[in-house]
Amino acid sequence: MTDPEAAEPAWSVTAHRATSPDGVDTVHVVVVGAIDPNNAPELRAVWTAAVRPRVPQCLELDLTGVVFCGSHGVRSLVEAADACEAAGITMRVIASPPVRRVAAITHLADVLHIED
């Protein structure tokens, strides 16, 4: 019998734009579940749409709900970092332990701007 509490969380990705109290125009993207080949394109589409047509000052990726990040997820995150750098957008990643582990193994923690 499967323990429902041990079940992997359902995949979801949402984005919203807000201005912080210090006036920074920020797009917040919240991801829950596993980033795998099936949904990495959706993640890419969400962050791409979130920074267009009006470019924010900051793109914040909240990955605290991510339980797995495969190579397709890493690729999407690196593409986000590259796009932000090219557009002059500050990128911040708030990562779960699985994302931190992948970033450490791939030596991409600095590239992905993972917050402590």
Per residue in 56-68, pLDDT tens?
Answer: 999 999 999 999 9
**Distance between CA atoms of 47 and 55, rounded to whole angstroms?**
11
pLDDT bucket at 6, cuts 50 / 70 / 90: low
pLDDT (0 to 100) of residue 78 = 96
Statement: residue 98 has pLDDT above 80? yes
Q: Which amino acid is located at 111 in the chain?
A: V
Domain boundaries, the chain: 8-106
Residue 88: other Cβ atoms inside 10 A: 8
46, two tokens: 């969400």
Nearest Cα residue to 32 out of 109, 98, 107: 98
CB 31 within 8 A of CB 63: yes
User: Which residue from 17, 22, 44 is spatially nearest to 31, judged by alpha carbons?
Assistant: 44
**CATH for 8-106?**
3.30.750.24
Please determine, for residue 4, whether its predicted confidence score (pLDDT) is greater than 70: no
* pLDDT tens figures, 15-34: 999 998 889 999 999 999 99
Statement: the pTM of the whole predicted model exceeds 0.85 = yes
